[in-house]
Structure 1
Amino acid sequence: MLKDPVLGRRSAAVVDAATGRRLYGADSGNALTPASTTKIATAVAALSALGPDHRLTTRTVYEPDTQEVVLVGGGDPTLTARKKAKGSASLRDLAARTAAALAKRGVRKVTLSYDTTLYKGDTAHPIGRGNENLAAVTPLMADEGRTDDSSSGPVKRVADPAAEAARTFGDLLKEHGITATPPGPSKSTTRATTLAAVSSPPLSSLVERMLTNSDNDIAEALARHTAVATGKRADFAGAGAAVTARLKALKLPVKGVVIKDGSGLDRGGRLTADLLTALLVTAGDPAHPELRSALTGLPVAGFTGTLSGRYADGAAGLVRAKTGTLTGVNTLAGTVVDRDGRLLAFAFLANDTAGAEAAQSTLDKAATALATCGCRTR
């Protein structure tokens, strides 16, 4: 199946998840453009660097000398200003807590600022500004910088998510009796005292959400946090270097690997099937329980996330995999239970594909073949 010319250039590997033994390989060391399967590497690196229980905190601080309230971005890509937070940290909750803390101080008028200094470098992804697949990469945003909650049609994003989140925060403060100036960028000082804080769900939950829904904004945030946690510069280059360094520390095969971003939107990224299967095997290793959500977040064929509309026949429920799609690029990496009950890790990367739908169908059939054959190791 993988020799189908529709796939163009390809790299493929199948590994027994329990033993790590490779059962099949076809140019498995060839580094190709991985698209969104990059998120598996991002997940493992972030979990390794920060731990599954780590939370991302957005806070407000008070500068007593200037009566300035600073909204400090903590890099939580799931922060929401919606009335129903649905498990995410709430900007509304933060405003209510901040207003209460100010009221205790007898403060009713403040200068409002916002701090985005956690991240460095350009906020625009190398693919360019205005791309509907990704908001500007900033440590302060609400609702991923989306202008509405529509799930159909092109996603519209605000040009400056940090400034928009701060403006929304100012409006929320007003609802609680605090008058704030129009916000501007600033940096909190060591003299500032914390007024209030809200935290994201644990990192394991963010990883699962990122993988299931192929969420680019979470992916870029987790790559930046990996950089922050490991002392690298928190920009695109530093994040890529930090993710690579974490994979090396886990003794994973990184020869030929190039990580340009956390999401896989950058076509300059390169991964191998050998690395992707090694990531999956390591995530399932009992010696690395901290990495488990890199497996549990994978979409389930025919049921969840980016695989909900695929595998209507055959391997529905048996395949769990991360998809990857760019023009001329189709990838699939995940796990499958074969008919003997063994768990296999697989990775299929195809570049220069002759049509997305045909290539996707071929990769799905290859994964289904693994589910329906016997692949015992001896």
Structure 2
Amino acid sequence: MARRAARRRRRVPAVSRRAVTVAVSAAATVVLAFGYLVADLTDVLPGPLTLRPARIPVVPDARAAIASGDVVGDVDRAAVIDQAAANALIDTLTGADGVGDDLSVAIADAEGTIVAERNIGTAREPASTLKTLTALAASATLDLSDTLDTETYLDQREGQTPTLILNGNGDMLLGAGASDPRHVNGRAGLGTLAERTAEALLQRGIDRVRLVYDDTLFGDRRSPANIERNNPGNLYYAPVSAMAVDGGRHWEDGQPEDPDQYTGYPELSTQPAAEAAATFVTRLGEYGITVEGEPSAGDVPEGLSPLTSVSGAQLSEVMAFMMRHSDNTLAEEFGRLTAIAAGYDNSPSGATQAVADIVSGLGVDTGQLTMADCSGLAPGSRLNVRTLIGVQAAALAGGSASSLIEGMSVPGLTGTAADRLDDDAAAGLLRVKTGTLDAVTAMVGNVSRTNGGVLCFAVVVNNPENAWEAARAVDAFIADLPGL
């Protein structure tokens, strides 16, 4: 088992040195608009998707223009924020209908220095804004240019039917058919893996095998404690697994034509790896390979080399997909990959500890941070808005940490904030991460200021008097931030 664990660790991506270019001027990459929420549909709207880094279609609209240059290269970091005006905006937000008294908010400069705030010392439930911490820790730890490969191995023993092992290394966005270079979801296809595997088997004179699938990457503990409380009908979270097709989504009418663009909440699998193996059996049969019996869970024997493999999207693309979709399963997986790479326990608690420690090591204030999970879905997480501001400042500082900004939504255009643009004058100037639960309305992000410079903000409302009105008040608040 020790040797097995060591081999697993070697497969996990190493520390990143990749610098990521992210726009903070009036620009945004055009990507998928889709978000999750629990008990509030305000964050769900579709949008266009393009996550291939080499080719970005430009929409002829000012808010979708593509900017170049380093994330902070052209920003005047010394541009002073009007403190009186910032406080006035906060006063308007705190007095808005539906918000209530259980609110914390802060406005800060690009360095994270807070210039205006209310109740920043109070820890509150952050919902999906917690994903920004996970993204920051993963960006600082993993090589985001890496991919998660799905492999096959062949174990031949005299007098026995050859055993084919399907091994997962964490790609939960496998396609059921051919590999699709146009999309993130399905970049690696089980159909292509089956075709390559069948060719290798038939060359060896093998047309009948047993199938074992190796889903041991994340150990026995796949779900944070109590996450089921906010996962009714299994709609918002599937257990983290070494492999899955389309994130384990069960579409009643079949997968949408564009696997990267969808708006519904289909039921999610409780056994994603087993279902992926079953799909692989079907694909093998299409290429002339018969699988005896049912696939069984197992392990790749030591000493074998892969027969063949398929590669998923780069981790940077998967992270952007996770952030814009607010995908809870992928957020938990990034936490687990980070924990393994950083030498923490391979468990949900190991993941939260790794994220908290790494974020703290980057200079972010985590004094009141409690993480129940890495996604914000499980009940029990708490933080103050200083933490969220610190994460934004770390991302704006550049380097690998800026990767998380690539996945943040642009109000009025992309992601979970596609319907959150209150004023067209702010189009393209805001990058945000939303957070919504039954009793949470939250948003965090960074803003390109119309008079130069950039600022960070964070708003967390718990127990709003009216969730709809509170969300609209937050929208109006962020729309005025560019003018500071």
Larger displacement relative to structure 2 (128-137 or 290-299):
128-137
Q: What residue number does 2:467 align with? A: 356
Q: What residue number does 1:108 align with? A: 207
SS of corresponding position for 1:237: helix
Q: What residue number does 2:414 align with? A: 304
Of the three residues 210, 213, 221, the one matched with 2:322 is 210
Counterpart CA distance in 1 for 2:428 and 2:349 is 37
SS of corresponding position for 1:138: coil
Contact 1:47 1:203 in 2 (8 A): no
Structure 1's 33 and 158: CA in aligned 2 closer, same or farther, altered over 3 A? Answer: same
Q: What residue number does 1:228 align with? A: 340
Counterpart CA distance in 2 for 1:51 and 1:160 is 28
Q: What residue number does 1:16 align with? A: 109
Q: What amino acid is aligned across from residue 130 of structure 2 in structure 1?
A: T
Contact 1:260 1:269 in 2 (8 A): yes
Q: What residue number does 1:54 align with? A: 146
Q: Is 1:316 aligned to 2:423, yes or no?
A: no
TM-score (norm 2): 0.73
Counterpart CA distance in 1 for 2:153 and 2:353 is 32
Of the three residues 54, 68, 78, the one matched with 2:163 is 68
Of the three residues 392, 402, 421, the one matched with 1:292 is 402
- TM-superposed CA distance for 1:265, in Å, is 0.2
Q: What amino acid is aligned across from residue 56 of structure 1 in structure 2?
A: L
Q: What residue number does 1:369 align with? A: 480
- TM-superposed CA distance for 1:339, in Å, is 2.8
Q: What residue number does 1:341 align with? A: 452
For 1:143-222, what aligned pairs fall within 5 Å after superposition? 143-148=246-251, 149=255, 151=262, 153-181=264-292, 182-222=294-334
Counterpart CA distance in 2 for 1:21 and 1:170 is 56
For 1:251-270, what aligned pairs fall within 5 Å after superposition? 251-270=363-382
Larger displacement relative to structure 2 (148-157 or 356-365):
148-157
Q: What residue number does 2:362 align with? A: 250
- TM-superposed CA distance for 1:28, in Å, is 1.9
Q: What residue number does 1:3 align with? A: 94
SS of corresponding position for 2:284: helix
Q: What residue number does 2:29 align with? A: none
Counterpart CA distance in 1 for 2:471 and 2:119 is 19
Contact 1:76 1:140 in 2 (8 A): yes
Percent identical pairs in the alignment equals 35
Larger displacement relative to structure 2 (8-17 or 170-179):
8-17
Contact 2:179 2:192 in 1 (8 A): no
- TM-superposed CA distance for 1:188, in Å, is 1.0
Contact 1:240 1:262 in 2 (8 A): yes
Counterpart CA distance in 2 for 1:201 and 1:164 is 21
Counterpart CA distance in 1 for 2:207 and 2:236 is 40
Q: What residue number does 1:77 align with? A: 172
Q: What amino acid is aligned across from residue 319 of structure 2 in structure 1?
A: V
Q: What amino acid is aligned across from residue 12 of structure 1 in structure 2?
A: V
Q: What residue number does 1:95 align with? A: 194
Larger displacement relative to structure 2 (324-333 or 204-213):
204-213
Q: What amino acid is aligned across from residue 244 of structure 1 in structure 2?
A: A
Counterpart CA distance in 1 for 2:177 and 2:195 is 14
Q: What amino acid is aligned across from residue 52 of structure 1 in structure 2?
A: L
Counterpart CA distance in 1 for 2:177 and 2:249 is 12
SS of corresponding position for 2:285: helix
User: Per-residue CA shift, 1:7-34, capped at 9, x if unaligned?
Assistant: 43122221111x4322122222322111
Q: What amino acid is aligned across from residue 284 of structure 1 in structure 2?
A: L
Counterpart CA distance in 2 for 1:196 and 1:317 is 43
- TM-superposed CA distance for 1:110, in Å, is 0.9
Counterpart CA distance in 2 for 1:98 and 1:29 is 57
Contact 1:63 1:193 in 2 (8 A): no
Q: What amino acid is aligned across from residue 159 of structure 1 in structure 2?
A: T
- TM-superposed CA distance for 1:185, in Å, is 0.6
Q: What residue number does 2:15 align with? A: none
Q: What residue number does 2:441 align with? A: 330
User: Per-residue CA shift, 1:67-116, capped at 9, x if unaligned?
Assistant: 21111121112222145632422121111111122222222111101111
Q: What amino acid is aligned across from residue 322 of structure 1 in structure 2?
A: K
Counterpart CA distance in 1 for 2:392 and 2:243 is 31
User: Per-residue CA shift, 1:220-258, capped at 9, x if unaligned?
Assistant: 111111111112222211111111121122122111111
TM-score (norm 1): 0.92
SS of corresponding position for 1:362: helix
Q: What amino acid is aligned across from residue 193 of structure 2 in structure 1?
A: L
- TM-superposed CA distance for 1:310, in Å, is 1.7
Q: What amino acid is aligned across from residue 164 of structure 2 in structure 1?
A: V
Q: What residue number does 1:133 align with? A: 236
Q: What amino acid is aligned across from residue 281 of structure 2 in structure 1?
A: G
Task: Mark the runs of 5 or more structure 1 residues left unpaired by the alignment.
Answer: none
Q: Is 1:45 aligned to 2:140, yes or no?
A: no
CA RMSD of aligned residues (A): 1.8
SS of corresponding position for 1:194: coil
Structure 1's 334 and 94: CA in aligned 2 closer, same or farther, altered over 3 A? Answer: same
